[in-house]
Amino acid sequence: MRLLFLGDVVGRVGRAAVVSRLPGLIERLAADFTVVNGENAAGGFGITEEIADHLIEAGADAITLGNHAWDQREALVFITRRDRVIRPINYPAGTPGRGANLLTARDGRRVLVVNVMGRVFMDALDDPFAALSRELDACPLGAVADAAIIDVHAEATSEKQAMGYFCDGRVSLVVGTHTHVPTSDHRILPQGTAYMTDAGMCGDYESVVGMDKEEPLNRFTTKLARARFEPASGEATVSGIIVETDDATGLALRVAPVRLGGRLEQALPEWA
């Protein structure tokens, strides 16, 4: 099975790049299931129902979120009727939506998608390790799920790496989001789980983590806020990761970065 994951979609140019390129990318990579992190898709902050629908229509089988999940207030309502939109699992009990779901791929196989948010330099949510462990115990790879994808939305690389080893052998892929910079540490961990500290963003890299450079530079140099952050408007790079799994176990056989368009060096796997 081939699993495609795309990092944080940032603003209009990120959305446009994903919507235009994703159908061809799925076909070229022969991806069976695709997850897109959409928490920065609406002007860089949150997601709307219309944007979620556009991403799903383009080929996203699931959309994960993060610390900006509720920046667009309508998300608190529409998430209850969109089972493919997944918010962090370790929000407190009673938070709208779901933090995990067992979804069906195009060929009928079952894929568990879990979104979990870190706590180092982030909001103090519930224990991500305990929340994730409960979900994996309830939906084990190879018995209930044919594949499992974990989006770790976190600031600290150490926390993401710890989560990778915590899940090793229990899921197909652990991939980090939130920092918007693709890392070069994609690999298969000792027990068979594919891992990457950060998938990068789908946005304009001639920016400060997807935002127009001027206001971040101003705040760093003057400690004053003169304007709101606005997403950069140049050509976006679609950034992510592709994993091929063993049909018998759901664990990873091959993993490679994906980068297409924009300013970064292009990357597509030779085997796909």
Q: Write out pLDDT tens, residues 51-71.
A: 999 999 999 999 999 999 999
**Span 99-117, mean pLDDT?**
97
Kindly list the distances between the CA atom of residue 152 and the CA atoms of 157, 163, 179, 235, in Å, as whole numbers in the listed order. Answer: 10, 8, 11, 26
Confidence of residue 123 (pLDDT cuts 50, 70, 90): confident
Q: Is residue 182 part of a domain?
A: yes
Strand bridging mode 8-9 / 201-202: parallel
Q: Is residue 266 part of a domain?
A: no
**Span 167-173, mean pLDDT?**
98
Please give the residue range of the domain that contains residue 155: 2-260
Helix (H) or strand (E) holding 140: none
Q: Is residue 132 part of a domain?
A: yes
Q: Is residue 268 part of a domain?
A: no
DSSP code, position 48: -
Confidence of residue 124 (pLDDT cuts 50, 70, 90): confident
Asked if 68 is an active-site residue, the reply is yes
Candidates 68, 153, 178, 180; catalytic one: 68
Q: What is the pLDDT of residue 271?
A: 84
Q: Is residue 267 part of a domain?
A: no
Q: Is residue 31 part of a domain?
A: yes
Confidence of residue 9 (pLDDT cuts 50, 70, 90): very high
Q: What is the DSSP string of 57-98?
A: HHT-SEEE--TTTTSSTTHHHHGGG-TTEE--TTSPTT-SS-
- For tokens 């568990």, the residue is 112
Q: What is the pLDDT of residue 50?
A: 97
**Span 126-130, mean pLDDT?**
96
**Span 104-117, mean pLDDT?**
96
- Measured between alpha carbons, how far is 186 from 243 in angstroms, rounded to an integer? 10
Q: CATH number of the domain that 127 lies in?
A: 3.60.21.10
Confidence of residue 142 (pLDDT cuts 50, 70, 90): very high
Query: 184 — phi, psi (to 5°)?
Result: -105, 25
Is 175:150 a contact under the CB 8 Å cutoff? Answer: yes
**Span 248-268, mean pLDDT?**
97
Q: Is residue 58 part of a domain?
A: yes
Distance of CA 244 to the CA centre of its chain: 17
Other CB atoms within a 10 A radius of the CB of residue 190 amount to: 9
Q: What is the pLDDT of residue 173?
A: 98
Q: What is the DSSP string of 211-269?
A: B-SHHHHHHHHHS---S---B--SPPBEEEEEEEE-TTT--EEEEEEEEESSSSPPB--
- In the predicted model, is pLDDT for residue 95 greater than 90? yes
Query: 2 — phi, psi (to 5°)?
Result: -110, 125
Q: What is the pLDDT of residue 82?
A: 94
3-state secondary structure of 167: helix
- In the predicted model, is pLDDT for residue 272 greater than 90? no
Domain count for the chain? 1
**Span 155-184, mean pLDDT?**
98
Average pLDDT in the chain: 97
The per-residue pLDDT for range 69-92, each reduced to its tens digit, is 999 999 999 999 999 999 999 999
Percent of the chain at pLDDT exceeding 90: 98
**Span 236-240, mean pLDDT?**
98
Q: Is residue 270 part of a domain?
A: no
Distance of CA 75 to the CA centre of its chain: 17
**Span 143-172, mean pLDDT?**
98
